[in-house]
Amino acid sequence: MDKSDIFKRLGNGEIISSSDSQRKELRNASYDTKKLLVQMNNVTDPTEIRNLLSQITNTEIDESVAVFTPLYINYGKHTKIGKNVFINFDCVFLDLGGITIEDNVLIAPKVSLLSEGHPISPDERHSLVPKPIRIKRNAWIGANATILQGVTIGENSVVAAGSVVSKDVPDNMIVGGIPAKIIKTIE
């Protein structure tokens, strides 16, 4: 099997068992990403931060994107970031399942985007279950919010600070709480 095959399988939503022969490649890729993260999290120049983030994500990060480090990503190459995105301090992106952040998104401090999880069954718990996260245009994710695997945040929607979002959020909604529930519609 091709070394990158496990990453393609993750990108296709395949559950990766704990006995998968390529499982160690996940850790090795994370260690490679960590080397670039250490560099990125220790520079202050916005251009250099974007250049290092471009290397981490293997995409071009637009000059309109602002990232206040530190930012923590476990893989990076399954993260796509649009234009005019702001990512504040101390965010965590677990992106093996895929993370898409569309244009004009605001991400407050200490936000966690967790696109991967594990089965409930103790016998299978060390398997990895990837499901993509999508944050649509003009969304605002409040401080210390957690977006769980498989969730889409709708266009123009707001996630209140401290919320845990486990279900899709429709366009033009404000959600909050644990678990997050619709609070009101944005007119």
Name the amino acid, one letter, at 154.
G
Cα(118)–Cα(55) distance, integer angstroms: 28
The catalytically annotated residue of 9, 23, 118, 131 is: 118
* Residues 27, 31, 34, 38, Cα dihedral to 10°: 150
Catalytic, 118? Answer yes
The partner residues of 117 in beta bridges, in order of sequence, read: 129
Helix axes 23-40, 46-57, angle to 10 degrees: 170
> Is residue 179 reached through a cis peptide bond, with omega within 30 degrees of 0 on the bond before it?
yes
User: Do 175 and 168 meet the contact criterion of CB atoms below 8 Å apart?
Assistant: no
Measured CA to CA in angstroms, residue 166 lies from 9, 56, 70, 158, 174 at distances of: 23, 27, 25, 14, 14
Enumerate the active-site residues.
118
